């Protein structure tokens, strides 16, 4: 489809909209006009839909907390995925120079995960609708990996996806900083009884301090890589501000698991980048946070207090692990059923006897059994390994630097899920697979391997 045909279709749509404008309410007319303008904007360069996907947490906040339209709040992300697939089809028709499908090293592990999930849905779902909801919660956001890989056609566009992630991260960081400054009340379920009177734990637009911390663990190493890689002084300043806002917000989340995971992620990045200065900077930030942010002292001090261990084992996150392991042993191969344990789907549907578990891998193991946790771990293993292998074929030092940071951030996210259920948060899962897609794309876009993504 050439531009002339596109412009003709745009003109016809405009005439049709003008004709019906006299018969519909003004609000609906504005919505239709805005929708058409958005579609035109995307179709002029289909890669732009990848940038839209990279705004996922902001879009989630707008649809769920600002607009508060029940249908839109519950279905907007599915509609976004459908729209992305439609744009993908448009790419096949309009851009014959592009491959219809770009193969990556990730197809087999994804297919295995999807096949096992569907198999368990039909084999072990006492309530099929509930099982569908559980399966959707596990695999839906993985599809953004394919959206990014299939719709990008240049390294420049891949970098723009990262720039969009940085904008989103900086926005989340600034909102979190303002919450800390103005002492926005933290929901009591995010505070231990002993810590209720301490400084607030910020949650920005995410609503969950731990999920927010995990997103920042993923994004901050990329911001640091962009600071080191960009040549433009303005870009270096911009990404420095992004990194500063996100780091400050990470500190104010009070998420100890995120702090630890961030430290590990930055050490991994420093090792891959062979840059000892990053370790010095990390230590300096940690010391400054401990010395000048009282809430950091309180959270770390309480973590080292025997009362914290007692509280966690008595009625905290670790008190539920033995029961979860028992359920896993009792339902070893097929699990208790998708959507029936440990996460948001089970909680929303009030499944009898279920409880929230702060370990996503254990949650998958209990719900999907040995088959499910094996497929899931194979998928994560391949995401990490192929991202690391992409360094050999990345070409430019810029791409290698970015891939190193993506790999490090992904490791940080996986570590947080050992003591939290962060993959249950759509924004975390979506961003994880978007970052994985960018790393894979940059590594193989110009590679001569059989996984040829080059246009």
Quick: pLDDT tens for 58-108: 999 998 888 877 777 778 889 999 999 989 888 888 877 777 788 899 999
pLDDT, tens digit, for every residue of 147-198?
999 999 899 999 999 999 999 999 999 999 999 999 888 877 666 655 555 6
CA neighbor of 253 nearest in space, from 302, 192, 203, 179: 203
- Mapped onto helix, strand or coil, the DSSP state of residue 113 is helix
Residue 276 corresponds to which tokens in the numbers above? 């000892």
CA 85 vs. chain centroid, Å, equals 19
Query: Poorest-confidence range of 238-242, 322-326, 347-351?
Result: 347-351
Q: Are 341 and 330 in contact (CB under 8 A)?
A: no
- The C-alpha angle 409, 411, 415, rounded to 5 degrees, equals 115
pLDDT band at 120 (very low <50, low <70, confident <90, very high): very high
145: left (phi over 0), alpha (psi -120 to 50) or beta: alpha
d(CA 333, CA 246): 41
Of 218-232, 281-295, 306-320, 346-360, the one with minimum mean pLDDT is 306-320
Which pairs from 205-208 meet CB under 8 Å and 24+ separation? 205/57, 205/58, 205/60, 205/61, 205/65, 205/171, 205/172, 205/175, 206/57, 206/61, 206/172, 206/425, 206/427, 207/65, 208/425
At residue 455, the pLDDT reads: 43
pTM of the prediction? 0.91
State the residue for tokens 């090293």.
Answer: 105
Rg, Å, the chain Cα set: 23
pLDDT for the residue 344: 83
Average pLDDT over every residue of 29-56: 79
Helix, coil or strand: residue 109 = helix
**How far is residue 30's CA from residue 119's CA, in Å, rounded to a whole number?**
45
Q: Which residue has the higher pLDDT, 31 or 132?
A: 132
Q: What integer pLDDT is reported at residue 132 of this predicted model?
A: 94
> ∠ CA(210), CA(198), CA(240), 5° rounding?
50
**Average pLDDT over the chain, rounded to an integer:** 87
Higher pLDDT, 303 or 184: 184
Percent of residues, the chain, with pLDDT higher than 90: 61
- Residues ≥6 apart with Cβ < 8 Å to 27: none
Q: Which of 177-181, 298-302, 395-399 has the highest mean pLDDT?
A: 177-181
Two tokens at 55? 């705004």
Residues 255 and 191: beta-carbon distance below 8 Å: no
3-state secondary structure of 356: strand
Structure tokens at 384: 């990490």
């Amino acid at each position: 489809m050439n531009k002339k045909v596109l412009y003709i279709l745009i003109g016809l749509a405009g005439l049709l909209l003008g004709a019906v404008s006299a018969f519909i309410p003004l609000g609906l007319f504005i919505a239709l006009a805005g929708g058409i303008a958005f579609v035109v904007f995307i179709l002029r360069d289909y890669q732009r839909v990848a940038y839209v996907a990279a705004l996922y947490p902001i879009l989630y906040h707008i649809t769920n907390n600002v607009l508060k339209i029940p249908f839109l709040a519950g279905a907007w992300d599915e509609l976004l995925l459908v729209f992305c697939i439609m744009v993908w089809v448009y790419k096949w028709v309009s851009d014959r120079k592009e491959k219809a499908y770009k193969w990556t090293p990730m197809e087999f592990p994804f297919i295995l995960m999807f096949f096992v999930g569907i198999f368990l849905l039909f084999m072990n779902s006492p309530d099929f609708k509930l099982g569908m909801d559980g399966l959707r919660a596990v695999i839906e956001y993985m599809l953004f990996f394919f959206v990014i890989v299939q719709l990008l056609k240049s390294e420049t566009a891949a970098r723009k996806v990262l720039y969009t992630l940085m904008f989103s991260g900086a926005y989340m960081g600034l909102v979190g900083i303002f919450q800390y400054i103005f002492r926005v009340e933290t929901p009591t379920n995010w505070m231990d009884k002993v810590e209720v009177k301490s400084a607030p734990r910020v949650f920005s637009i995410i609503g969950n301090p731990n999920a927010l911390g995990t997103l920042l663990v993923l994004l901050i190493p990329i911001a640091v890589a962009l600071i080191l890689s960009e040549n433009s002084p303005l870009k270096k300043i911009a990404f420095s501000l992004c990194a500063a806002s996100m780091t400050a917000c990470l500190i104010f989340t009070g998420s100890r698991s995120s702090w630890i995971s961030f430290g590990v992620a930055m050490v991994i990045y420093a090792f891959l980048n062979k840059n000892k200065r990053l370790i010095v900077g990390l230590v300096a930030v940690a010391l400054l946070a401990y010395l000048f942010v009282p809430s950091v002292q309180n959270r770390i001090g309480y973590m080292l207090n025997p009362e914290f261990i007692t509280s966690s084992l008595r009625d905290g996150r670790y008190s539920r692990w033995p029961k979860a392991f028992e359920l896993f042993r009792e339902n070893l191969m097929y699990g208790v059923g998708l959507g029936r344990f440990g996460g948001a789907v089970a909680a929303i549907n009030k499944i009898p006897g279920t409880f929230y578990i702060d370990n996503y891998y254990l949650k998958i193991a209990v719900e999907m059994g040995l088959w499910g946790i094996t497929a899931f771990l194979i998928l994560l293993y391949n995401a990490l390994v192929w991202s690391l292998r992409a360094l050999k074929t990345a070409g430019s030092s810029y791409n290698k630097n970015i891939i190193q940071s993506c790999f490090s951030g992904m490791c940080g996210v996986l570590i947080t899920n050992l003591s939290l259920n962060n993959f249950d948060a759509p924004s975390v899962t979506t961003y994880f697979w978007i970052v994985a897609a960018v790393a894979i794309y940059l590594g193989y876009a110009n590679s001569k391997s059989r996984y040829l993504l080059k246009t």
